[in-house]
Homo-oligomer: A and B are copies of this chain.
Amino acid sequence: MGTTQLETVPEPKYWHLKTVLTEALDSEFAVGEILPNERELAARFGVARATLRQALEQLELEGRLQRRRGVGTTVAPPRMGVAVGDAGHAWPGADTDAWQPVDSVEAPPPQAVARLLGTAAGEDVHTVRRTRRTHAQPVAAELLYVPAAGVPGLAGLDTLPGAARARAVLRELQRLELEGQDRAVELGSARADDAKQLDRLPGAPVLLVTTRYFAAGRTAAVSVATYRADTCRLTFGDTGMQLLAG
């Protein structure tokens, strides 16, 4: 009867919509171009706005679209490759890296971090906040936790302004000999403070990179970096690989 897929399960509308939109993006739209608004698109495809939004959400998750309240939906450029292991076994704060210290406080870390550091619950550690920008866009927000015990010469910094304190902590860190590090990457959603720094709404999908730095036979620091999942592709590599560059 010429039918090919009759008995098969009905594909959800939003899924089919996503496919159609993907093809349209590939062929008919240029990077940065503004799509018609959601109500218009929904009407055009004959679906409810919520259904259309489900498709747009996925496309944004995949880095194909960028939506901004009050502005509109634009076609996103290909994801940026962001080197995560770039200097290979280097302390954070090296001259080569793209991080910028914001401020620093002394406070007890989250429970999970304390466990990694091996510090007692409630024990204060130096907490440095940094942000990372690439191509003038914020790509990551980081909290770097450094137990006071691991870095001498960090007492009496309380009087320094935040950014200066942050730089001081990083400077002290780099005095130690780095013995090794390891990393983990997982999916998360942006906390309110990180979201603000990343120029996204709270709850936006992010890639959480947790790094442990080893020195003097112990965990000298732990970093939790929050990367925008929509715009970033994290690269690890022996060589300076540029996956999908262009």
Contacts and interface: CB of A to CB of B under 8 A. Distances in A.
Nearest to A232: B186
A234 B188 CA distance: 13
A63 interface: yes
Nearest to A230: B187
B184 A238 contact: no
A62 B187 contact: yes
A239 B178 CA distance: 14
A165 interface: no
B63 A234 contact: no
Interface in A96-121: 112, 115-116
A152 interface: no
Given A203-B15, A239-B180, A244 B116 contact: yes
Interface stretch (A29-37, A136-144, A169-177, A205-213): A205-213
A233 interface: yes
A244 B15 contact: no
B187 A212 contact: no
Max chain B C-beta neighbours (<10 A), residue from A112, A229, A235, A236: A236
